[in-house]
Amino acid sequence: MTETTCRHELDLEIPAEEVQKAVERVAREFARLARVPGFRPGKAPVPLIRRRFADDIKGEVLQSLLPERIKQAVEGQNLVPITQPQVDHVDYAENGPLKFRAIFEVLPEFELGAYKDLEVEIDAAEVTDADVEKTLQESRERAATFLPVEGRVLAKGDYAQLRLVGTPAGGGEPLRADNVLCQLGAEETLEAFTTNLLNAGAGEHRNFEVRYPAEYPDQKLAGKTYTYDAEVLGIKEKKMPELDDEFAKAVSDSATLEELRAKVKQELEAEREQRRMAAIREAVLAKIVAAHDFPVPEALVENQMDVRLERAVRMLAAQGVDPRAVNVDWVAMRRRQHDPAMEDVKAELLIDRIATAENIEASEEELEQELGRLAERSGESAAAVRASLTKQGALDRMKSKLRSGKTLEWLQRNTRVKIRERERS
């Protein structure tokens, strides 16, 4: 293994006698099964078979000898490959030794440094009355209704109900939207829409050009220019419900607004505590990772890059966005995940080593509890979930995840936490 990578190379040799025995064995098997013109099945002479099927015989010999020789060498040197060995530099001759090189990655060897009795600093997190009111206002926004407005034209603050056709500058596929709401003057509304739609009435058409900024969130539109034909289908006002006891009853099981406020505060405090715990774990893990310098297997990094990319795709899908329709350079995005993925792998290796050092394991009872939670969510029995995970080879991964979680909790308990107070304005 080199000092900067986990790549391991073995130059191996199989004695000529062993190679010759394998060639003869494979050739006899070919002679028994091969059909050669001019000879009855199984009657062709072996020397002819060796000449006629030389390449096939070589392939069979390599396939039969190399894996076993690699296995012996790996076990003899107490190595644990984490990738399938790749073979190159094969020097093969029927009457000579077989030489080749096996290349694979192994887990890194490193000394475990300081990991307990550390001190980390995290930001103070408190739930204020303003946080509660903000959450209630967000609930009002979600419960708002849009009422049609008759007898006047669009003004700032109104919602224009539009049918849009946008033609890109320089040609291309037009954008079409049959029914969208656009609030004039809102922070998220481009100025061109507000300026050109003001004083328009229902049924009226407006034509105008929109230049999207380079940093526009939708990458399909960022930096581009479109000419829009906008038809005003209607004018709507947003009506927010009153913040009173009736609102509390409508959006929750609370009887009064004060009861709802108390419940919201309790939920925010629970979320704050979860964030605080997560911040401590992230801070201590970052400190431990920064204190250890060792190479990580590139194969594990590549796998973690895929995990990160899949996570991004799932997040888009959860938001109702089709990842295939998003204008994203997925290859470049995956490439940018290399360094964070490497840190993830280092953290996993360190957690595993710390768990071993502290004799931390997931008990059978803890595994059963986790299986029970999965069973409750899926509607299956715990036994069925266990059988399914075992068949998929995922039960060991679950145990490993539980072990890692327990190790992070242990690290958190053995870390001094300093709170960094927020500046008062």
Token pair belonging to 319 = 């938001």
Q: What pLDDT was estimated at residue 422?
A: 66
Q: How far is CA 220 from CA 144, 214, 330, in A?
A: 30, 11, 14
Q: What pLDDT was estimated at residue 32?
A: 78
Token pair belonging to 164 = 């849009």
pLDDT tops 70 at residue 425: no
Spatial distance between the Cα atoms of 93 and 95, rounded to a whole number of angstroms: 5
pLDDT tops 80 at residue 174: yes
Q: Is residue 251 part of a domain?
A: no
Spatial distance between the Cα atoms of 387 and 390, rounded to a whole number of angstroms: 5
CATH code, 82 = 3.30.70.1050
Q: What pLDDT was estimated at residue 1?
A: 46
Give the whole-number percent of the chain exceeding pLDDT 70: 97
Is pTM, for the whole model, over 0.75?
Answer: no
Q: Is residue 172 part of a domain?
A: yes
Q: Based on the domain organization, do 316 and 373 belong to the same domain?
A: yes
Q: Based on the domain organization, do 390 and 282 belong to the same domain?
A: yes
pLDDT, tens digit (0-9, with 9 covering 90-100), for 102-132: 999 998 888 999 898 899 988 888 888 999 9
Q: How far is CA 195 from CA 189, 202, 236, 300, 418, in A?
A: 10, 16, 18, 53, 51
Q: What pLDDT was estimated at residue 2?
A: 47
Computed over every residue of the chain, the mean pLDDT equals 88
Q: Based on the domain organization, do 94 and 45 belong to the same domain?
A: yes
Q: What pLDDT was estimated at residue 109?
A: 87
Spatial distance between the Cα atoms of 332 and 167, rounded to a whole number of angstroms: 29
**Cβ contacts of 195 within 8 Å, gap of 6 or more:** 208
Q: Is pLDDT larger for residue 328 or for residue 260? A: 260
Return the minimum-mean-pLDDT range out of 53-57, 190-194, 211-215.
53-57
Q: Based on the domain organization, do 342 and 282 belong to the same domain?
A: yes
pLDDT tops 80 at residue 63: yes
Spatial distance between the Cα atoms of 423 and 425, rounded to a whole number of angstroms: 6
Q: Is residue 35 part of a domain?
A: yes
Q: Based on the domain organization, do 23 and 97 belong to the same domain?
A: yes
Q: Is residue 301 part of a domain?
A: yes
Q: Based on the domain organization, do 280 and 401 belong to the same domain?
A: yes
Q: Based on the domain organization, do 415 and 277 belong to the same domain?
A: yes
In this structure, are residues 9 and 73 in contact, taking their beta carbons and an 8 Å threshold?
no
DSSP secondary structure code for residue 53 in this structure:
T
Q: What pLDDT was estimated at residue 355?
A: 94
Q: Is residue 161 part of a domain?
A: yes
Half-sphere exposure of 204 (CA within 13 A, CB side): 14
Q: How many domains does the chain have?
A: 3
pLDDT tops 70 at residue 424: no
Q: Based on the domain organization, do 206 and 288 belong to the same domain?
A: no
Enclosing domain of residue 155 = 145-239
CATH code, 386 = 1.10.3120.10
The model's confidence at residue 318, banded by pLDDT at 50, 70 and 90, is confident
Comparing CA positions, the residue from 424, 126, 401, 419 lying closest to residue 283 is 419
Q: Based on the domain organization, do 407 and 277 belong to the same domain?
A: yes
Number of Cβ within 10 Å of residue 416's Cβ equals 10
pLDDT, tens digit (0-9, with 9 covering 90-100), for 300-315: 999 999 999 999 888 8
Q: Based on the domain organization, do 72 and 177 belong to the same domain?
A: no
Query: Containing H/E element for 91?
Result: strand 86-91
